[in-house]
A and B are shown apart, each in its own frame.
Chain A
Amino acid sequence: MAEAIIMPELGQTVSGGTITTWLVPVGGTIELGDPLLVVETDKTELEVESVAEGTVLRHCFPEGTEVESGTVIAYIGEDGEEVPTS
């Protein structure tokens, strides 16, 4: 089953951050622990590692969006799997 990836709690003082770059496009494959996206938080940029392996099925937000931690931001699973669209 596809894994819903959430925006992690990254900063010591703020909750959430801005998605600056998706490092793996939709349809691309990713290994566990590889960088999935870059998030800006507390004025620093952090690479967020993938907690799942497989195919990136969906980016839920475009680059530049500020997202609260805990929000689902992407789905990773097997190629062709159905994932929620909203």
Chain B
Amino acid sequence: MARPDTSTGSAAVDPESPEAEPGTPVAEQEQAAVDDHLGQIADLAQDGHTDVLRRLGKESALAMLQQMVEIRHFEQMAYLRYLQAEIPGTLHQSQGQEAVAVGVCQPLRRTDWITSTHRPHGHALAKGMRPDVAMAEIYGREPGALGGRGGSMHLGDPDLGILPSIAIVGGGITIAPGLAMALQHHGTDGVVACFFGDGASNEGAFHEGVNYAAVKRLPVVFVCENNLYGASTPFHETTLNVDIAARGASYGIPSEQVDGMNVLAVVAAMERAVQRARAGEGATLLECLTYRYVGHSRGDARGYRTKQEEQFWKDRDPIEQLRRALVDAGVASTEEADEAVGRAKVVIKDAVAFAQQAPKAPSETAVAPSAVLAAPPRPQTIGAPLADGPEDRRLSIAEALREGIREEMAADADVVLLGEDVGVPGGFGGAFGIYLGLAEEFGRSRVIDTPISEKAIMGVSIGAGIAGMKPLPDLQYADFVFEGMDELVNEAAKLRYMSGARLSVPMVLRCPVGATQRGAQHAQCPESFFMHVPGLKVLCISDPYTAKGGIRAALRDPDPVLVFEHKLLYGSKKRQEAGSIDTRAYVPPDEYITEVGQARLRRPGTDVTVLATFTQLYAALSLADELEREGISIEVIDPVWLAPFDWESLYESVGRTRRLVVAHEAHRTGGWGAEVAARVGEHLFDRLAAPVRRVATKDVPMPFAPWLESAVLPSTEELATAIRDVAGQDRPAAAARTDQTDTSREAVDG
């Protein structure tokens, strides 16, 4: 059933693929699909692979037997203790699938990586996690692998090459190529085994991740555990072509269907795949036919399948098969096999006892800032206004970004750029030409052109960051960030926390924002979304000094940073947009970095604080002189970082001016200004002379025509009106109206 290596040519569809005759009734088609699957496993099982047994020898074979029994007992004991309400949450168990976990991990080294799923116990144990540490984690106890912050669905240990398992179906498939890229970049022959289910093969992540690994010849073995069901849904009900291995041909990589009930068959297939990967020949897809004996998760009565079907698979029990094969081949005696089984039972009994008596993870560890971010926020004082300097060092944001990125790339070989159209000779030099010249200088292995696969771009960056690189992916337009939202929000932001602070995810994602007459899908300012997500840092670049120092700070930061840059502010020579704003400013030639989480004072003032980014920052600055003449002195602050946010600097300013206007091009509702208004209300209510005002884009998708676009965007006049309005209000400060404080609070709250 092995499929040929198709990487050199296009492969025809397998003529034996189980597509039913047209016109066959659906029920019969379905039955045919199931029968076909059962037939396939029976065919595959004809080869017992006893040669593998002899090659491995007695010790390894008995170790595999013991490991499979440990996994079986681990799962059963966990379930039983779960029934006794000792284990919180839920469990997904893998009884029946042990041969896949053990066979896949058999040829792997400690320094190789695995990625796993919501059903990870077997994978983690097979890759070397101690059962007591794994069990303690499932119990939520302090000595658990992840200090109780991960649990059953996120088992992992970076030191053992086990990525905290990802419970988003298909989530690991885009990350595995990134881990593999780092292994390759660092000159090792390491490999990554990526486990996922049949159900996951229908996620978009499968397509993007497998194609990426294939085209970049990355050392990944994609291991599909086809257990016929995604939760209660039979695979054939959701998939017309149930032959998952056939998909290898679509990506030009070799693939194989494997008897996943025979650990020897899995070892044999995995050895072939690993050998290719270590030799630099790229990725392989293995479809392991297997079955989970138990329900999908707790409380699954398995009403969707028959007892006969379950028996069919139990008759192929992987543990019994290996035990028999060992003895029949004369590799070990019955007594030796029994001893291995006995040892496994003791190990698991001890693991349960260990977990039961282990202390619970203390609650303060749940909220420790260092659990969320590898570099938690530090107290800041506001950054000084931009300095002047010689004319030849007055740079645009585009030039300053390129200079900062160039310096970091020169200083650190682990910094790589990834994106669409970034390095192709004669191509675009990245969106808005920011990367022009970098591919020539650093080579195309550091300026990496990717498929148009935003999920893969994010996932690869996450994996590479975890494994020691400093990836700088970019999006041509920030609007495309939603394609990679799962990777950013569920993986990049959370993997550190899920790992019990055992790893961090350094990556810097550049996102160009802002309306430039391109309509609703090339105009958004989505930065506020990410302020809502613990674990992410959000940088908004509105000036050249920050562009260079900020991008360098971001690249040196151990946490994921999203960098938002406004298209009208770039001052890029290659692409001048209508309505561009000249933001040129002095950028020192030295290798400075700016503070993460520090706001910048752009103009001091006394009457109204205006907090603004991007176009609105420049609108505020353009109004300042005129308002000054009217007797209104505005203090203009650029928050620079939305996360971590420089609250102290803002409170200090608003405490003095007692008035705040927030202006952003992001939509009004749920925009970052809403959070600012709420916080300032909570902290400075008694000091405020006027309500906090927001000036923002109307809650309307961005239209294309310039005359319609300007009706949706905030205007300079709107901003001026808001500032004049709050300047004209003078609600007495609390100190001057002690007796009224309570009633005014009620009025506001009500």
Contact = CB atoms under 8 A, between A and B. Distances in A.
B85 A49 contact: no
Interface in B607-625: none
Interface in A33-60: 33, 41-42, 44-46, 48-51
Interface stretch (B152-160, B192-200, B296-304, B325-333): B296-304
Contacts of A70: 85
A44 to B, nearest CB: 4
A42 B81 CA distance: 22
Interface in A3-37: 3, 5-6, 8-12, 32-33
A10 B298 CA distance: 7
A49 to B, nearest CB: 6
Contacts of B299: 9-12, 41
Interface in B79-136: 79-85
Given A9-B298, A11-B299, A49 B84 contact: no
B85 A32 contact: no
Interface in A54-74: 69-70
Contacts of B77: 32
B490 interface: no
Contacts of A10: 298-299
B9 to A, nearest CB: 49
Nearest to A32: B80
Interface string B149-191: 0000000000000000000000000000000000000000000
B40 interface: no
B93 to A, nearest CB: 12
Given A44-B301, A44-B303, A46-B301, A9 B80 contact: no
A14 to B, nearest CB: 9
A48 B83 contact: yes
A33 B78 CA distance: 11
B572 interface: no
Contact of A33 (B80, B84, B298): B80
Contacts of B81: 51
A9 B303 contact: no
A49 B298 contact: no
B303 A49 contact: no
Contacts of B298: 9-10
A70 B611 CA distance: 55
A82 to B, nearest CB: 21
Nearest to B298: A9
Contacts of B301: 42, 44-46
A32 B75 CA distance: 13
Among A32, A48, A50, A51, the most chain B Cβ lie within 10 Å of the Cβ of A51
A32 B77 CA distance: 9
Contacts of A45: 301
A33 B298 CA distance: 15
B202 interface: no
A31 to B, nearest CB: 11
B710 interface: no
A47 to B, nearest CB: 9
Nearest to B303: A44
Contacts of B84: 3, 5-6, 8, 51
Contacts of A41: 299
B76 interface: yes
A3 B301 CA distance: 25
Contacts of A6: 83-85
A62 B85 CA distance: 22
Contact of B76 (A33, A48, A69): A33
A69 B77 CA distance: 19
Contacts of A69: 85
Contacts of A33: 76, 80
Contacts of B85: 6, 8-9, 69-70
A25 to B, nearest CB: 21
Interface in B44-90: 76-77, 79-85
Contacts of B79: 49
A41 B298 CA distance: 13
A12 B85 CA distance: 15
Contacts of B83: 6, 8, 48-49, 51
Nearest to A47: B301
A6 B83 CA distance: 8
A24 to B, nearest CB: 15
Interface in B289-346: 298-299, 301, 303
Contacts of B80: 32-33, 49-51
A46 B300 CA distance: 9
A70 B86 CA distance: 11
Interface in B265-305: 298-299, 301, 303
Interface in B338-367: none
Nearest to A69: B85
A20 to B, nearest CB: 13
A76 B260 CA distance: 37
B630 to A, nearest CB: 65
A12 B303 CA distance: 14
A50 to B, nearest CB: 8
Contacts of B303: 44
A41 to B, nearest CB: 8
Contacts of A44: 301, 303
Nearest to B76: A33
Contacts of A49: 79-80, 83
B346 to A, nearest CB: 14
B79 to A, nearest CB: 8
B118 to A, nearest CB: 16
A48 B335 CA distance: 32
A10 B301 CA distance: 9
Nearest to A48: B83
A8 B298 CA distance: 10
A39 to B, nearest CB: 10
Nearest to B81: A51
Nearest to A33: B76
A48 B79 CA distance: 11
10 contacts: A8-B84, A8-B85, A9-B85, A33-B76, A41-B299, A42-B301, A45-B301, A49-B83, A50-B80, A51-B80
Given A8-B84, A10-B299, A32-B77, 15 more contacts: A5-B84, A6-B83, A6-B84, A8-B85, A9-B85, A9-B298, A9-B299, A33-B76, A33-B80, A41-B299, A45-B301, A49-B83, A50-B80, A51-B84, A69-B85
Q: Which 5 A-B pairs have the closest CB atoms?
A: A8-B83, A51-B80, A44-B301, A10-B299, A51-B84
